């Protein structure tokens, strides 16, 4: 790979919602469109990561293909030679390098990972897997196999990138220049931009971000929702008792969330949306405008998704996985030789 490598993951499972679309999916697609050509863009599907917590395994394959098609419908340029889309498990070097890195990783390092603490606290002891405990090591392998310098990270992943840098430096110090060390978090933010998408709020509880963990589903607009169902959710959204529309996420998160959705889905700037609506007193009119924007978005997007050529996606996966295996196996061989597993 002669070009600098950008690497990021595409969601493997779970039903994607409009918060995922606006906050993570669109920025990823935009990054690939803008950066491909000057950079090699590796977009991998973390299917090995997908069951570090319990899932329905019978649905995993269908979810993987569906979610890749969602990215394509959103504009991911899979016909570009510098954009590679591949499934993690189709490149065995990910698992093999993880074991090598595991043996140079301390138990204490993994114990300090905030994501593990947060996720394991929600599970019973017997459901907390070793995979959940050490998946930052697999994430390090995901990055180091491809000599990636650029990895977009949110606040919840900064520890994992820091660990990736630590384990790469540790191995390089002991065995020579095995791995390219990705840039530190501040440099990543400088390259990608600190704000890589807004956090869309739950419609019924705007104090928290929109999440599939909402058991009722009333506060979440899924990309698979019918336009009619989405409209009902918007019209039932929690607002406030002030009686006047104002953009203020701290004091009025419900109204502000609706204003943000309207701006993002109508193609208007936030300033223009705010100028039109602030000071008005009819929350119902605002909700209707947002509901119209959401239903129009879903109607168009679902039509694009239905038109995605599944065979073209599968062909792209096959081509990308051949390229990924070639690069990953070279890196793995260097590591195997260094630790004495190959002559």
DSSP-derived pairing of the beta strands 5-9 and 83-87: unpaired
> Is residue 251's pLDDT more than 90?
yes
Q: Annotate 24-42 with b (16+ C-beta within 10 A) or e (fewer).
A: bbbbbbebbeebbeebbbb
Of the candidates 81, 58, 82, 85, the one whose C-alpha atom is nearest the C-alpha of residue 70 is: 85
pTM, full prediction? 0.92
Distances (CA, A) of 61 to 13, 43, 71, 87, 172: 9, 17, 16, 11, 37
Catalytically annotated residue among 3, 59, 119, 122 = 119
Lookup result for tokens 């840039």: 183
The structure tokens listed for 166 are 């630590």
Query: Inter-axis angle of helices 158-175 and 185-192, to 10 degrees?
Result: 120
Domain with CATH 3.40.50.620 in the chain: 5-198+310-338
pLDDT band for position 121 (cuts 50, 70, 90): confident
Residue 194 is a catalytic residue: no
CATH class of 5-198+310-338: alpha beta
For the chain, the average pLDDT equals 94
Region 137-141 average pLDDT? 97
- Per-residue pLDDT of 192-201, as tens digits, reads 986 555 689 9
Q: Across-strand partners of 300?
A: none
Which pLDDT score, from 0 to 100, does residue 197 have?
A: 53
Sign of CA dihedral 248, 192, 148, 69: positive
Sign of CA dihedral 220, 223, 224, 226: positive
Which pLDDT score, from 0 to 100, does residue 298 have?
A: 98
The answer to whether residues 87 and 317 touch, using CB atoms and an 8 Å cutoff, is: yes
Which pLDDT score, from 0 to 100, does residue 34 have?
A: 96
For residue 66, give the 3-state DSSP assignment: helix
- Per-residue pLDDT of 7-55, as tens digits, reads 999 988 888 999 999 989 999 999 999 999 999 999 999 999 999 888 9
Region 95-123 average pLDDT? 90
Which pLDDT score, from 0 to 100, does residue 13 have?
A: 85
For residue 7, give the 3-state DSSP assignment: strand
Least-confidence region, from 20-24, 121-125, 129-133, 276-280: 121-125
> Is residue 103's pLDDT more than 60?
yes
User: What is the distance between the alpha carbons of residues 7 and 96, in angstroms, rounded to a whole number?
Assistant: 19
User: What is the distance between the alpha carbons of residues 53 and 58, in angstroms, rounded to a whole number?
Assistant: 15
Beta strands in the chain (DSSP E): 5-9, 40-45, 83-87
Which pLDDT score, from 0 to 100, does residue 199 have?
A: 81
Catalytically annotated residue among 208, 212, 246, 276 = 212
- Report the share of the chain in percent with pLDDT over 70: 97
The structure tokens listed for 110 are 């993994």
User: What is the distance between the alpha carbons of residues 128 and 126, in angstroms, rounded to a whole number?
Assistant: 6
Lookup result for tokens 């990705």: 182
- Residue with the bigger pLDDT between 324 and 211: it is 324
pLDDT band for position 215 (cuts 50, 70, 90): low
Which pLDDT score, from 0 to 100, does residue 194 have?
A: 66
Whats the size of the chain, residue-wise? 343
Lookup result for tokens 């520890």: 159
- Per-residue pLDDT of 158-184, as tens digits, reads 999 999 999 999 999 999 999 999 999
How is 170-232 classified by DSSP, letter by letter?
A: HHHHHHSS-SPPPPPHHHHHHHH-S--S--PBPSS-TTSB--TT-SS-TT--BTTS-HHHHHH
- Per-residue pLDDT of 288-298, as tens digits, reads 999 999 999 99
Catalytically annotated residue among 3, 187, 209, 316 = 209
Residue 209 is a catalytic residue: yes
Q: What CATH topology corresponds to 227-305?
A: Tyrosyl-Transfer RNA Synthetase (1.10.240)
Of the candidates 268, 272, 278, the one whose C-alpha atom is nearest the C-alpha of residue 247 is: 278
Residue 212 is a catalytic residue: yes
Domain with CATH 1.10.240.10 in the chain: 227-305
């Amino acid at each position: 790979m002669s070009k600098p490598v950008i690497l990021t993951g595409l969601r493997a499972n779970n039903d994607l919602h409009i918060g995922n679309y606006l906050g993570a999916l669109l920025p990823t697609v935009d990054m690939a469109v803008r950066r491909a050509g000057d950079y090699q863009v590796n977009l991998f599907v973390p299917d090995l990561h997908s069951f570090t917590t319990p899932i329905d395994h019978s649905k995993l394959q269908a979810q993987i293909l569906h979610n890749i098609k969602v990215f394509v419908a959103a504009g991911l340029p899979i016909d570009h030679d510098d954009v590679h889309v591949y499934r993690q498990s189709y490149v065995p070097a990910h698992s093999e390098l993880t074991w090598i890195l595991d043996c140079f990783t301390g138990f204490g390092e993994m114990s300090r990972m905030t994501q593990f603490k947060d996720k394991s606290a929600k599970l019973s002891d017997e459901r907390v897997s070793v995979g959940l405990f050490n998946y930052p090591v697999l994430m390090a392998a995901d990055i180091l196999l491809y000599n990636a310098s650029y990895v977009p990270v949110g606040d919840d992943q900064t520890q994992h990138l820091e660990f990736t840098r630590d384990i790469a430096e540790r191995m390089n110090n002991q065995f020579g220049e095995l791995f390219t060390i990705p840039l530190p978090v501040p440099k990543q933010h400088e390259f990608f931009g600190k704000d890589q998408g807004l956090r869309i709020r739950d419609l019924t509880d705007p104090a928290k971000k929109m999440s599939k963990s909402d058991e009722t589903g009333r506060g979440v607009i899924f990309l698979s929702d019918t336009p009619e169902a989405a409209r009902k959710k918007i019209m039932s959204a929690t607002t406030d008792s002030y009686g006047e529309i104002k953009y203020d996420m701290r004091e009025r998160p419900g109204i502000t969330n609706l204003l943000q959705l309207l701006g993002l889905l109508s193609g208007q700037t936030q300033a223009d949306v705010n100028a039109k609506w602030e000071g008005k007193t009819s929350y119902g009119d605002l909700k209707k405008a947002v509901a119209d924007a959401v239903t129009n978005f879903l109607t168009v997007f679902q039509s694009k998704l239905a038109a995605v050529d599944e065979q073209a996606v599968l062909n792209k996966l096959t081509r990308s996985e051949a390229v990924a295996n070639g690069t990953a196996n070279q890196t793995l061989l260097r590591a195997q030789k260094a630790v004495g597993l190959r002559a």
